[in-house]
Amino acid sequence: MLKTIDFGEADRVLTLLTRHFGKVRVVAKGIRRPTSRLAGYVEPLSHATFQLARGRELDVLTGAESRSTLRAVRDDLVRIGASWYIAELADRFTADRSPSAPVFDLVETALRHLEAGYAPGIVCRWFDLHLLDRSGFRPELAVCVQCRGPIAETVNLWSPDGGGVICSGCVASLDHIGVPLSVRALKSLRYLIASDFGSAAKLRVDAPLADELACLLRGFLQHVLDREVQASRLLDEIAQLPAYPVPA
Ligand SMILES: [Zn+2]
């Protein structure tokens, strides 16, 4: 489940991402009452099998069987932020009632690894790149988007407007809008987009590289969506919080 909106006296409208029917909005009647037998199954980001009945406008939730509740994610603020980020992007990149099995599988994989304790930064960057790829917005990382020539191992330009990398030769000859792209960030992007999560998790990423990758993809996603990903700001705020005191 991606998100919920309170509705009426005790109801909620749930937005579900389903494997076979895409994004579906359903009504959960009486779900906010303490006696509701379904309440425990409809936590945001829970993975469940849902039974629905046809309704006049929206289908009605009649039963649920939990498959995963992301218990470990819920205990950690950074993981909570990362899971909201994944849910927001999944919501933005899918349409109502349009089959989206590739995106569903990607969300499921990302949340499962977040729950298993993998670094949220790697989970999110891997998710960003594969979501863009599966949605038809794969960034061009092999050749220059301007001259189609090879990309040399030097600082190039990252151009969300152009859809990928602009080579240093084109940058020198023309005015382009973008941000510098380091060699190791380019190599990391190429590696992540070509890898399943098991291989992606082996990538060594220090803090400056993690920041660079986050910044590059944030700009790219913002350009594709034509708006900022709200959960990115939430993650910024969480990163600014003082670290929890460590007991001596
Ligand atoms: Zn070029």
What is residue 97's three-state secondary structure? Answer: coil
- Segment holding 188, helix H or strand E: helix 183-194
Nearest to 235, CA basis, from 112, 121, 105 = 121
154 CA → ligand 1 middle, Å: 13
167 CA → ligand 1 middle, Å: 4
pLDDT at 197: 96
- C-alpha span between 174 and 199 (Å, rounded): 37
219 CA → ligand 1 middle, Å: 20
187 CA → ligand 1 middle, Å: 18
What is residue 205's three-state secondary structure? Answer: coil
- State both tokens at 242: 């003082």
182 CA → ligand 1 middle, Å: 16
- C-alpha span between 98 and 242 (Å, rounded): 42
210 CA → ligand 1 middle, Å: 26
- Do residues 2 and 91 lie in contact, with contact meaning Cβ atoms separated by under 8 Å? yes
- Do residues 26 and 36 lie in contact, with contact meaning Cβ atoms separated by under 8 Å? no
228 CA → ligand 1 middle, Å: 28
161 CA → ligand 1 middle, Å: 14
What is residue 3's three-state secondary structure? Answer: strand
170 CA → ligand 1 middle, Å: 4
227 CA → ligand 1 middle, Å: 28
Going along the chain from its start, the domains and CATH numbers come out as 3-68 (2.40.50.140), 73-139+172-240 (1.20.1440)
Cβ-based neighbour number of residue 113 at 10 Å: 20
213 CA → ligand 1 middle, Å: 21
DSSP conformation class of 41: G
- C-alpha span between 35 and 121 (Å, rounded): 39
- C-alpha span between 150 and 142 (Å, rounded): 7
> Which sign, positive or negative, has the C-alpha torsion 217, 219, 222, 227?
positive
pLDDT at 47: 83
pLDDT in single tens digits along all 248 residues of the chain: 888 888 888 999 999 999 888 899 999 999 888 888 887 777 777 888 888 898 888 889 888 888 877 888 888 899 999 999 999 999 999 988 888 899 999 999 999 999 999 999 999 999 999 999 999 999 999 999 999 999 999 999 999 999 999 999 998 887 777 899 999 999 999 999 999 999 999 999 999 999 999 999 999 999 999 999 999 999 999 888 877 555 54
Nearest to 126, CA basis, from 239, 238, 210 = 210
132 CA → ligand 1 middle, Å: 22
- State both tokens at 49: 């099998």
pTM over 0.85: yes
149 CA → ligand 1 middle, Å: 6
pLDDT at 246: 52
- The set of residues, in sequence order, having a beta carbon less than 8 Å from that of 203 and lying 6+ positions away, is 122, 188, 191, 192, 195
- State both tokens at 79: 């993981």
